[in-house]
A and B are shown apart, each in its own frame.
Chain A
């Protein structure tokens, strides 16, 4: 039949084992296409690797912190002149009084190690001395907090870890060099010589920087103290709002649209608009949030509650679309069987369809949340940037309502600040954010792998 006529029709005479010119061309085209594909994948991987490497190169430093280990003498004549031990008297001594204690400790260390440095004779002018630049401005507060929590320390000598200033920290990390500080008024080469000696003696060393992960943000004067902790809590409360609002609303809306709504122009219109909403730039939701939640409803500015509401608006379409897709993928035979044995429509949906669609819904929700977690633009408009997130919320209510930052907003904030040490923190913040996003995506993948059913 036709099989027999094909060779005759084309008039081919060659062997099937030896490809003719056209076959060869087609094979070559295919090989070329594969190569293009490989190149495309290669370029993608190259950029991913370049991105990852640059993030880790720039940000790894934020996870380390230089600190001094010094024996501090809590002098009674400075901290509690009359020796009453009265907590109010001790409280009235401000952090400025603790600075000299640190100066004395470092001087003792200089004499003990027999280091020759012009700083040993540094004059104290007013409230500061050249030695202060070695330490973080937060170091006196560390000591004051210790004394306030245990007034018994007064009169004793205790070995304390005190963090170094950002310039010294940068020097140990290789960010600050002798050339770059030549015109810097905060630190001289003399300081670096001293740091070199102290480092050799083990007084100053780099260690893991837990405070970067758990600590609050700090002002421009002490980048070495800035941490992500408060912003992380802000993000957490925001995600809580997003989850509590967008999951029930999104799932209810999609169940109605998918299972109960009649198919007519109105539902078509709604459907088109939901798809459109998913593509609206996030900054638009920010402007909407500013207008509706802050200017009309007078909710507090910079509050995670408002941030969460805005991000809910942004996440809803994502959740509705993915929920509807997973409801659609449950075969009609399940519904028919349930209805066939006498279940009501609602029973069929809630007892049979919804549980089967759950893995898909959860995956969609987690991906929507991950998207919301990394979102910055709408937060800029509702005031979650431009200030220092230094207060931990002291309860659930204040967690929602007190001004706070969010992780991406905090990164943006650091990238804006003048001191180069904050730049390192911004990259470190990106690493933390990426870890969160990756964890969430991995959970989504695991849920899908574990529970998804195929028909």
Chain B
């Protein structure tokens, strides 16, 4: 019967292809969606310039990427994990349990986080961390007292800011960006407004107060965006009063729709971020499984190519796309060349 033949051939194809999958000749990368565009730019150039096949770069988030990275050693696991934060102790331990002991940490550069609003909207031009704390925190200090956040307009607490309803679009908790935002903006603002002091004075322990500092009001004036920056952009497009958190690269690609505000008086740019003047920035990393070097063809070459001067340097394509080049790139290059693993 022809039907039987069809089924048989389908199964045969599946069987043949399953055996063919055993040998892998391309580098596999997964992780942070912030690092994804950079990694894919490098992958593309790598594929053009070397005889190795183009590496496969997937996104999924820093934590998800590191989890896959730590699943074990072997061709079925990924070779490189991208992360928009440093690997955590817990993750290193999880890795070690699965036999992934030698990990090479590579810092590729810095990413700035900018605060932008609709180009024709109210004049949000200068922020301080304290402004964001006052706008977003569930409890703020008013007239020396710790009260439930009464503010609904930016001008309520800072007369220099426009008389506009608070509508903040901040990254959701699963984003690496959120951590930076909490640490560099909310926690800083908490201290600056004196809320931290007031909380400790009210009898909270230091740790609890620090956690309370990065909490966000839940009455709808602050919206968590779990998607990517495109979604934040769409929300701001629809709401003239909206202020959103973006990566520098995304903002630079959409300067016709967005205007950026300074933070603590510093305008975000590749220069101010690389000097550390602009306060809200973070390093970007990728992690290499040392056990795969020499097994997966092209892995070391790809890593070396990634941090080469003509790629990750200040004039390379990554900087052009928005990455802030690492001033200590030479040290990173030496690290990969010498296959130096993280000291445990």
Give me the interface of A with B, judged by CB distance under 8 Å: 91, 94-96, 125-128, 137-138, 141, 144-145, 179-181, 183-186, 218-222, 241, 244-245, 247-249, 251-252, 298, 300-302, 305, 350, 383, 386-388, 390-391, 395-398, 400-401, 403, 415-420
Contacts and interface: CB of A to CB of B under 8 A. Distances in A.
Contacts of B37: 219-221, 417-418
Contacts of A395: 20
A95 B49 CA distance: 6
B44 A248 contact: no
A95 B26 CA distance: 21
B316 to A, nearest CB: 6
A22 B13 CA distance: 72
29 contacts: A95-B49, A126-B316, A127-B309, A127-B310, A145-B48, A179-B256, A183-B256, A219-B40, A219-B41, A220-B41, A221-B44, A221-B317, A222-B44, A244-B7, A244-B9, A252-B3, A301-B58, A302-B58, A305-B14, A383-B60, A387-B57, A387-B59, A388-B43, A390-B44, A391-B56, A398-B20, A403-B56, A416-B230, A420-B253
Interface in B47-97: 47-49, 51, 53-54, 56-60, 76
B320 interface: yes
A372 B86 CA distance: 41
A126 B7 CA distance: 59
Interface string B12-50: 011011101100001000000100110011011101110
Given A221-B317, A244-B10, A388-B57, A400 B17 contact: yes
A401 B59 contact: no
A387 B45 contact: no
Contact of A221 (B10, B57, B321): B321
Scoring A94, A125, A401, A418 by chain B CB atoms within 10 A of each residue's CB, the highest score goes to A418
A126 B53 contact: no
Contacts of B179: none
B255 interface: yes
Contact of B49 (A94, A222, A398): A94
B159 interface: no
A388 B40 contact: yes
Contact of A401 (B21, B53, B56, B76): B21
Contact of A305 (B17, B53, B255): B17
Contacts of B1: 350
B160 interface: no
Contacts of B49: 94-95, 141, 144
A429 to B, nearest CB: 16
A46 B33 CA distance: 39
Given A94-B49, A252-B3, A418-B230, A386 B36 contact: yes
Contact of B33 (A144, A222, A386): A386
B17 A397 contact: yes
A137 to B, nearest CB: 6
B277 interface: no
A247 B6 contact: yes
B250 interface: yes
Contact of A126 (B40, B59, B229, B315): B315
Nearest to A398: B20
B288 to A, nearest CB: 18
Given A127-B315, A127-B316, A397 B20 contact: yes
B58 A386 contact: yes
B13 A396 contact: yes
Nearest to A216: B54
A293 to B, nearest CB: 12
Contacts of B36: 386-387
Given A96-B310, A386-B58, A387-B56, 8 more contacts: A138-B48, A219-B44, A220-B37, A221-B44, A241-B10, A244-B9, A383-B58, A390-B54
A183 B313 CA distance: 23
Contacts of A401: 17-18, 20-21
B78 to A, nearest CB: 10
B254 interface: yes
B8 to A, nearest CB: 10
A73 B158 CA distance: 61
A391 B58 contact: no
A186 to B, nearest CB: 8
Contact of A245 (B10, B43, B45, B59): B10
Contacts of B255: 183-185
B273 interface: no
B310 to A, nearest CB: 5
A222 B229 CA distance: 19
Contacts of A301: 58
A419 B3 contact: no
B191 interface: no
A183 to B, nearest CB: 4
A57 B35 CA distance: 33
- Report which residue of A95, A127, A298, A383 has the largest number of chain B beta carbons within 10 angstroms of its beta carbon: A127
Contacts of A94: 49, 310
A222 to B, nearest CB: 8
Contact of B54 (A251, A252, A391): A391
Please name the 9 residue pairs, one residue from A and one from B, whose CB atoms are nearest each other, closest first: A126-B315, A244-B10, A386-B59, A397-B20, A397-B17, A220-B37, A219-B40, A180-B256, A183-B255
B3 A251 contact: yes
Nearest to B230: A416
A218 B228 contact: no
Contacts of A127: 309-310, 313, 315-316
Nearest to B253: A418
A397 B33 CA distance: 29
Given A126-B314, A221-B317, A420-B254, A390 B17 contact: no
A122 B20 CA distance: 52
Contacts of B33: 386
Contacts of B137: none
B317 A137 contact: yes
Nearest to B227: A416
Nearest to B59: A386
A424 to B, nearest CB: 14
B55 to A, nearest CB: 9
A455 B344 CA distance: 80
Contact of A128 (B6, B16, B315): B315
Contacts of B26: 391
Interface string B312-330: 0111110011000000000
Contacts of B20: 395, 397-398, 401
A126 B230 contact: no
Given A126-B315, A137-B317, A386-B33, A419 B253 contact: yes
Given A126-B313, A220-B37, A300-B21, A390 B256 contact: no
